[in-house]
């Protein structure tokens, strides 16, 4: 089966890389039709590129991000039009990016047109599906496709090789967006600053970057390493594999209820225990004290207490590590992802 991966998508974004790789491993051919030019010229270039391959594929998938080019895809192609939406563009803008009024309006229109013209819409969770059904009505267009992880990159480490009896390393990585809850993490770091057996790493950049840096400096925190530079794959894998505990998202943000960050699947794939705020989306795939750890309020004190407790309990850490890795292999591997995409677009 030949699939056209279409749009203005970011080829380095996790879902694009994972899905394309999974489908290729399953024996499907991927033709990429992409342009990221500024302004209206990208539509012209996409039309020209698509015109050269329009008779060469069986189904078209709009990669992420791509909400705004779905009407163009529908106009250009007579094949099944699928879009990997992940979620609502408007929801992401409002709850993560603090946009201008005009961007809010544009993102709302983009969502509406995407729903109107797409034949299939891939969403990251059942909670995202509920969100779209509430906004635009129930539809057979919506398909839940969990993100998974690049299992060639995020490789599990042998159990028993961690150094938990010495320094317990806690890792937060990701964009420093409003829903990240990074300020609660900093509160926990400050509470634990006199515990010499626990060390933190924050890897990320974004909206709260300077606020994080200022907090660390003002509180004179010596128990945290703040890394803002982009890490190559090998360096990123090394940082994750060195962690004894990976942190998720902790803010009381409505978008958090619907999202499952890529780093959750990556932690599962590597057998790294994952601690996050309890939210509906993450509970679709993980269970507390079984395949992940949850806290139940966005309070730095509760987070600090949970981290300190886990640092002293290697038995439950190893149990959750093993269970999460088994869950990943059984439900989110390349094979499972390709099977779900094939079923969603009825590729047999």
Please write the tens of the pLDDT for every residue from 243-281.
999 999 998 888 889 999 999 999 999 999 999 999 999
Rounded mean pLDDT of 110-130?
97
Q: What are the start-end ranges of the E strands in 136-287?
A: 142-144, 168-173, 198-203, 224-227, 245-247, 274-277
Rounded mean pLDDT of 83-88?
96
Considering the entire predicted model, what is its pTM? 0.93
Q: How far is CA 62 from CA 81, 90, 117, 191, 207, in A?
A: 7, 18, 12, 46, 28
Measured CA to CA, the distance from residue 281 to residue 92 in angstroms comes to 15
Q: What is the pLDDT of residue 253?
A: 83
| Residue 150 pLDDT > 80 | yes
Q: What is the pLDDT of residue 99?
A: 75
Helix 262-270 and helix 233-241: axis angle, to 10°? 70
Percent of the chain with pLDDT over 90: 84
Whether the CB-CB separation of 227 and 201 falls below 8 Å is answered with: yes
Q: How many CB atoms lie within 10 A of CB 138?
A: 11
At 137, list the tokens. Answer: 């009505």
| Residue 158 pLDDT > 80 | no
Q: In whole numbers, what is the pLDDT of the chain averaged over residues?
A: 93
Q: Which of residues 347 and 298 earns the better pLDDT score?
A: 298
Q: What is the pLDDT of residue 297?
A: 86
Rounded mean pLDDT of 310-337?
96
Rounded mean pLDDT of 56-70?
97
Q: What is the pLDDT of residue 157?
A: 66
Domains of the chain, start order? 2-148+333-344 (3.40.50.2000), 168-331 (3.40.50.2000)
Q: Which of residues 58 and 164 earns the better pLDDT score?
A: 58
Measured CA to CA, the distance from residue 348 to residue 345 in angstroms comes to 9
| Residue 163 pLDDT > 50 | no
């Amino acid at each position: 089966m030949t699939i056209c991966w279409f749009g203005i998508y970011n080829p380095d974004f996790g879902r694009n890389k994972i899905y394309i790789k999974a489908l290729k491993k399953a024996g499907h051919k991927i033709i990429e039709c992409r342009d990221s030019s500024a302004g209206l010229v990208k539509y012209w270039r996409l039309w020209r590129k698509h015109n050269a391959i329009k008779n060469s594929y069986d189904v078209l998938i709009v990669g992420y991000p791509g909400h705004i080019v779905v009407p163009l895809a529908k106009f250009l192609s007579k094949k099944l039009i699928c879009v990997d939406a992940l979620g609502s563009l408007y929801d992401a803008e409002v709850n993560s990016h603090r946009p201008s009024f005009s961007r809010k309006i544009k993102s709302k229109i983009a969502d509406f047109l995407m729903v109107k013209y797409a034949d299939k819409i891939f969403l990251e969770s059942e909670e995202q599906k509920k969100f779209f059904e509430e906004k635009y009505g129930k539809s057979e267009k919506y398909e839940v496709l969990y993100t998974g992880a690049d299992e060639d990159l995020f490789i599990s480490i042998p159990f028993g090789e961690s150094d938990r009896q010495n320094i317990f390393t806690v890792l937060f990585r990701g964009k420093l967006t409003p829903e990240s809850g990074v300020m609660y993490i900093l509160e926990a770091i400050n509470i634990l600053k006199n515990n010499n057996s626990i060390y933190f790493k924050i890897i990320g950049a974004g909206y709260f970057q300077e606020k994080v840096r200022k907090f660390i400096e003002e509180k004179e925190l010596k128990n945290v390493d703040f890394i803002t530079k982009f890490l190559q794959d090998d360096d990123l894998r090394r940082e994750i594999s060195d962690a004894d505990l990976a942190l998720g998202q902790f803010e009381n943000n409505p978008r958090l209820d619907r999202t499952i960050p890529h780093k959750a699947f990556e932690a599962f794939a590597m057998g790294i225990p994952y601690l996050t705020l309890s939210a509906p989306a993450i509970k679709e795939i993980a269970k507390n004290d079984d395949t992940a750890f949850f806290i139940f309020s966005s309070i730095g004190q509760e987070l600090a207490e949970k981290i300190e407790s886990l640092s002293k309990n290697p038995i439950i850490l190893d149990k959750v590590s093993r269970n999460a890795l088994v869950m990943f292999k059984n439900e989110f591997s390349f094979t499972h992802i390709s099977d779900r995409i094939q079923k969603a677009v009825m590729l047999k």
